[in-house]
Amino acid sequence: MDKEQLIINHFNNKFLGDDAAVLGKMVYAKDLFFEDVHFKREWLSLEQIGYKAMIVNFSDIIVMNATPKYALLGLALPKSITNEQITGLYGGIKKACDKYGVSIIGGDTICSDKICISVSVFGVLNAKAVFRKGLKNGDFIAYTGKLGSSLKSLKSLINIGKTSHKSRFFDPILRDRFFYKSAKFINSAMDISDGLTQDLAKLCASAKKGFKFIKKPIKYELESGEEYEILFSFSPKNRAKIEQIAKKTRTKITIFAKATKGRYKTNARSHHF
């Protein structure tokens, strides 16, 4: 058995299987952001590392239709880190927290050989939570923004050691304005962190649905992860409302598939193990 699946099977309970866990009006998410797993030191400044570690967690809260409020921060930092670097890291974390109105309420700091950041974020539901399992037969499946640039940046970083500093890889744009306004017309959602192919498979698996492409995305769009755009679905009768909100919030959306009965199984392997 796939090791990640074994772990998921062991811990399986009613709270799991979504971007975040819902308990009453509160929503809880946790993501790890580790050197040499999620980033290399030569790719990102300490400020960019701090910023992205927070943003990827806020993303999980937002796609549940909740507003991130509080965070616990676990920092494992090398002994060699300088005071200037600590201040840079803090600057990135603060920038993200200020932008989204989040307070750091606790955490733990240890010395480690690599930078390992562990963030837990708690948010408050704006209204009804949006779950992955809400995907309905006949739903349009869409994503926000553009996909592909993050993978291009990653390839460029691996091959030539640099990429544009404006890349989404450094600075994902979260679609909170669009999502909060349109949430009541949305049946299911998740953020695209592992790439459309893998995340679409997860969405379908959660709801025990299949899909057919209306317009098949190109390879870069299918495989690019870490843009933190939103994958979401809605009933065809709400299409006009969704498109109107997208226009109003200047959010590009691409309707690319339709949910069907049956199951969808991908052969794409998780990168985690």
Residues that bind a second copy (CB under 8 A): 1, 3-4, 6-8, 10-11, 13, 15-16, 20-21, 23, 28-32, 34, 36-38, 70, 72-77, 79, 81, 83, 86-87, 90, 94, 103-113, 116, 118, 120, 122, 271-273
* Residue nearer to a second copy on the CB measure, 30 or 177: 30
Q: Which amino acid is at 237?
A: K
SS (H, E, C) 127-171: CCCCCHHHCCCCCEEEEECCCCHHHHHHHHHHHHCCCCCCCCCCC
* Residue nearer to a second copy on the CB measure, 121 or 151: 121
| 132 in a known ligand binding site | yes
| 176 in a known ligand binding site | no
- C-beta of 148: minimal distance to a second copy in Å? 24
- C-beta of 170: minimal distance to a second copy in Å? 20
Cβ-proximal residues to 133 (8 Å cutoff; 6+ apart), any chain: 17, 18, 188, 206, 207
SS (H, E, C) 227-273: CCCEEEEECHHHHHHHHHHHHHCCCCEEEEEEEECCCCCCCCCCCCC
| 60 in a known ligand binding site | yes
| 31 in a known ligand binding site | yes
Q: What order do you get walking across the sheet with 210-213 strand by strand?
A: 188-191, 230-234, 140-144, 253-260, 210-213
- C-beta of 166: minimal distance to a second copy in Å? 27
Q: Which amino acid is at 167?
A: S
- Helix, strand, or coil here: 208? coil
| 263 in a known ligand binding site | no
CA 73 from chain center: how many Å? 18
Q: Is 172 exposed, middle or buried (0-12, 13-18, 19+ CB in 10 A)?
A: buried
| 171 in a known ligand binding site | no
| 113 in a known ligand binding site | no
| 226 in a known ligand binding site | yes
* Residue nearer to a second copy on the CB measure, 115 or 257: 115
Q: What is the DSSP letter of 17?
A: S
* Residue nearer to a second copy on the CB measure, 70 or 220: 70
Count CB atoms within 10 A of the CB of residue 184.
13
- C-beta of 197: minimal distance to a second copy in Å? 19
* Residue nearer to a second copy on the CB measure, 94 or 241: 94
First-to-last CA distance in the chain? 12
* Residue nearer to a second copy on the CB measure, 255 or 268: 268
Residues contributing to the annotated binding site for Mg(2+)? 19, 31, 60, 108, 191, 194
Residues contributing to the annotated binding site? 19, 31, 38, 60, 90, 107-108, 132, 191, 193-194, 226
Residues contributing to the annotated binding site for substrate? 38, 226
